[in-house]
Amino acid sequence: MPDDPTVPVTGSAAVAPVTAAEPPLRRLAAPHGLALGTAVDLTALAEDPAYRAWVAEQFDTVTAENAMKWAELEPTRGRYEWGPTDAFFAFAQANGQRVRGHTLVWHNQNPAWLADVPPDELGDVLKTHVQTTVRRFKGRVWQWDVVNEAFEDDGTLRDTVWLRALGPGYLADAFRWAHEADPDALLFYNDYDVEDVNAKSDGVYDLVRELVRQDVPIHGVGVQAHCSVRHAPTTLPENLRRFDALGLHTAVTEADVRVALPSDPVKSQAQANVYRSLLRACLLTPRCLSFTVWGYTDKYSWVPGWFEGEGAAGILDENFAAKPADRALREDLSFGGARRRS
């Protein structure tokens, strides 16, 4: 394989294993001003050398798949457990990787003790959590998912513990609290099923436009992009463009593309096409900063546990062999001129 990242990588028909001589994804992405990332399973990172090596070599941004969620950080009220996350940051630093912090305000994976907090104390408790966490990693988080999944499919605000106790103002407050704690971090709103222009992404658009108008410190919108070959976005470029036009960064934050099991070559090729369309949408959007896959190998994928009969959603199979999807990403990053950043 050529060592020059501008030379195309070929061969999506017959999928050859990626060899050590090939340029890593991160190097192919660099001329585009785009960071290539993956979610990281910290247990696999500690126990599986092949997994660890691939994360270290291929990606320039990493997201802890679960370890930075509130239930993991503060299982007992008032006692933060930073150990696993510190190890994750040390790994990222050793490999020259930037961290996407995931996530501060969510309705899921919150500590059990939160259920016993009286509603009139929830605002203080949330502020303390946001600021304790952001301060702990001040200067070391590139992008924070400040608020995650706050919308329903119809574009209204999701009925969560936060909306009920604090009203809709909790969204702006969360961004202000995070900004106070680390003025240099890029602060994102992040959600799923907002890839297309649809009722849900319209709701997100209206919210962030209003936050921008009010000078609330929000800097970006993350589209998760949990897709399937049977349900692939068709209007992602238009959608990202409208957020870009507000002056906001965008990012593809959790890409995966599941197929009905068992997979076969036709499904794998269809999957590659979806990955390719996600990446292209990001490349077409001047302020799209990063393209993160939600786990790169099927070996540790969350998908089969959540979608009965579906899986094989990653770019590498369970044996770390490249699928057409991996080749498609390499091809698209290799062909075409580097995009101009605005």
Active-site amino acid positions: 149, 254
Q: Is 215 helix (H, G, I), strand (E, B) or coil?
A: coil
The CB-nearest residue to ligand 9MR is 302
* 91-130 footprint of ligand 9MR as x/- string (CB under 6 A): -----------------xx---------------------
How many whole angstroms separate alpha carbon 27 and alpha carbon 60? 9
* 153-192 footprint of ligand 9MR as x/- string (CB under 6 A): ---------------------------------------x
Q: Which of 22, 65, 182, 332 binds ligand 9MR (CB under 6 A)?
A: 65
Chain centroid to Cα 195, Å, comes to 13
By CB under 6 A, residue 254 contacts ligand 9MR: yes
For ligand 9MR, the closer CB: 1 or 44:
44
For ligand 9MR, the closer CB: 80 or 307:
307
Q: Cβ 16 to ligand 9MR, closest distance in Å?
A: 29
Query: Could you tell me the CA-to-CA distances from 170 to 36, 130, 249, 316 in Å, in that order?
Result: 31, 12, 22, 39
Task: Give the closest residue to 275 by CA, choosing from 322, 228, 337.
Answer: 228
How many whole angstroms separate alpha carbon 279 and alpha carbon 112? 37
For ligand 9MR, the closer CB: 44 or 246:
44
By CB under 6 A, residue 224 contacts ligand 9MR: yes
> In the structure encoding, which two tokens stand for residue 229, read together?
């070959």
User: What secondary structure letter does DSSP report for 110?
Assistant: -
Helix, strand, coil share (%) of the chain residues, nearest 5 = 40, 20, 40
Residues in contact with ligand 9MR by CB under 6 A are: 65-66, 108-109, 192, 224, 254, 302
